[in-house]
Amino acid sequence: MPMKIPYLVASKLYEATINAASVINTKARLRVKGLQSQKTLYADLAVKKKNKRIWFHCASLGEFEQARPLIEKIKSENPTFEIILTFFSPSGYELRKNYTYAYAVLYLPNDSAANAKSLVNVIQPDLVFWVKYEFWHYYLSEIRKMGIPLYLVSAIFRAYQIFFKPYGNFFRKILKNFTQIYVQDENSVSLLQSIGIKNAQAVGDTRIDRVIQISEQPKNLPLIELFVGNSFTLVAGSTWQPDEEILIPYVNSASDLKLIIAPHEITESHLQRIESLAKRKTIRYSKASSETIQFADILIIDNIGMLSNLYRFGQIAYIGGGFGTGIHNTLEPAAFGIPVVFGPKYKKFAEANTLVSDGAFFSIFDSKSLITILNLLKMNDKKRTDSGYWVLQYMKKNKGSCEIIYRNVFNR
């Protein structure tokens, strides 16, 4: 049986599942309603094209942060270009649907021949950038068939992926739709060459350019400044329950340390569970004032969007997810030159592998190893400073991928 048939069946089943789940699941409901409402925009988009259009597709918010410095570079050099931004996940769409530099922001409909043909005709892109992953067969094939230059940026490949398996021919063909593939590391180039993909170039991760940009343009956060004062501060970002169950007991016993914690999920039940673990004075950011925040020991960030600007207040960062499917963004704290600690599941991330080897990032396995590492970094100023130095050296060495991609694509 040709792989295209089970692929199409899987795509249809996924669409049906999302539609069914929308009755009880908030994210699924947002996606379904968003797709329904945007159909009225298609006619306007199709007839209102006046300038060159660049289409960026991002799976979710993390991929948008990789696209953002490239989008803003393109707009700064070409103000008339119209940026069309698509997301698959509500996590990206809902937070960036009013993005300043986008001419239009849309959900990407489920992958099918009809949807792909329709959307490409509506957007009428002159160039397309796919960010990191989401290798949708029909969309990428339609873009290629229309003769539109198609670029994959900030991609990273691993030997266990289906492209490199004996049965992965269908997915290998998907990769051949790209005009050029810009990857994060040389290992990805080698893997692609092993399956006959010769148009790959290692230029680094565009996220590095983005987080450096954030670090160079710090936001004024007076309540955070009041909370921190002169205290030694640990900033924990994107934490999950397993992270919190070892991290907060440590903070409970460390009276010489304050904690800023931004959990990955900010549901009321999750926030209450964090509060129940804490034995020191805790306050939520949404309920804090200049009169109350400075007396708290643990500050819970109960919003989305602040985290990347909080790491500058810490001497150490802890990144969540390492006891689950994998760590979250370690580059955001790295941009501020501080050591970063996380759980054992980090192997998929090039920067984490390199900086663990360099002794600048630290992987822990349980509460005992967490105590050992945090105490070392807290009490040994030289170790902490040296780790931060090597973090910054890595960032400086690997910045500039957006500039390379821009020059290559636009021949500038």
pLDDT in tens, 231-244: 999 999 999 999 99
pLDDT, mean of residues 35-40: 90
Count CB atoms within 10 A of the CB of residue 95.
15
Q: Which structure tokens are listed for 131?
A: 């960010």
Q: Which residues lie below 8 Å from residue 389, measured CB to CB, with a gap of 6+?
A: 337
Under DSSP, the state recorded for 360 is S
Q: Which residues contact 311 (CB under 8 A, 6 or more apart)?
A: 235, 237, 317, 332, 333, 335, 336, 338
Separation between Cα atoms, residue 274 and residue 72, nearest integer Å: 37
Return the CATH fold of 219-398.
Answer: Rossmann fold (3.40.50)
Taking only the tens place, the pLDDT of each residue in 72-114 is: 999 999 999 999 999 999 989 998 999 999 999 999 999 999 9
Q: Where are the beta strands (DSSP E) in 90-179?
A: 104-107, 127-131, 150-155
Q: Which of 6-20, 113-127, 343-357 has the lowest mean pLDDT?
A: 6-20
Q: What is the DSSP letter of 281?
A: -
Distances (CA, A) of 347 to 131, 135, 238, 353: 20, 22, 18, 6
Residues 6 or more apart in contact with residue 328 via CB below 8 angstroms: 237, 238, 264, 319, 320, 321
Least confident of 31-45, 136-150, 151-165: 31-45
The phi and psi torsions of 76 (rounded to 5 degrees) equal: -65, -35
Is it the case that residue 1 has pLDDT exceeding 60? Answer: no
CATH T-level fold of 4-213+400-410: Rossmann fold (3.40.50)
Kindly indicate the confidence band of residue 412, based on its pLDDT and cuts at 50, 70 and 90.
low
Structure tokens at 296: 């708290």
For β-strands 257-263 and 82-87, DSSP reports them as unpaired
Look up residue 229 and give its amino acid: G
What letter would DSSP give residue 20?
H
Query: 3-class SS at 84?
Result: strand
Q: Is the pLDDT assigned to residue 47 strictly greater than 90?
A: no
- Biggest distance spanned by C-alpha atoms of the chain: 68
Q: Is the pLDDT of residue 2 over 70?
A: no
Quote the strand ranges of 28-101, DSSP E.
Answer: 53-58, 82-87
Write out the residue limits of the CATH 3.40.50.11720 domain(s) in the chain: 4-213+400-410
Can you tell me the distance from the alpha carbon of 153 to that of 395, in angstroms, rounded to the nearest whole number?
18
Q: How confident is the model at residue 6 (pLDDT cuts 50, 70, 90)?
A: confident
Classify the C-alpha dihedral 221-226-230-232 as positive or negative.
negative
Residue 316's DSSP bridge partners are 234
Query: What's the distance, CA 273 to chain centroid?
Result: 26
Residue 80's identity, in one-letter code, is T
- Calpha distance 301→285 (Å, rounded): 5
Tell me the mean pLDDT in the region 208-224: 93
Q: What is the mean pLDDT of residues 250-278?
A: 96
CB 260 within 8 A of CB 227: yes
- Which segments of the chain belong to CATH 3.40.50.2000? 219-398
The mean pLDDT of the chain is 94
DSSP, res 294:
G
Q: Give, for 263, the enclosing helix (H) or strand (E).
A: strand 257-263
Distance set, CA 81 to CA 78, 102, 132, 300 (Å): 6, 10, 23, 40
Residues of 141-156 as b/e, b for ≥16 C-beta within 10 angstroms? Answer: bbbbeeebebbbbbbb
pLDDT given at position 113 = 93
Q: Answer for the pair 228, 273: CB distance below 8 angstroms, yes or no.
A: no
DSSP designation for 285? G
Q: Are 250 and 371 in contact (CB under 8 A)?
A: yes
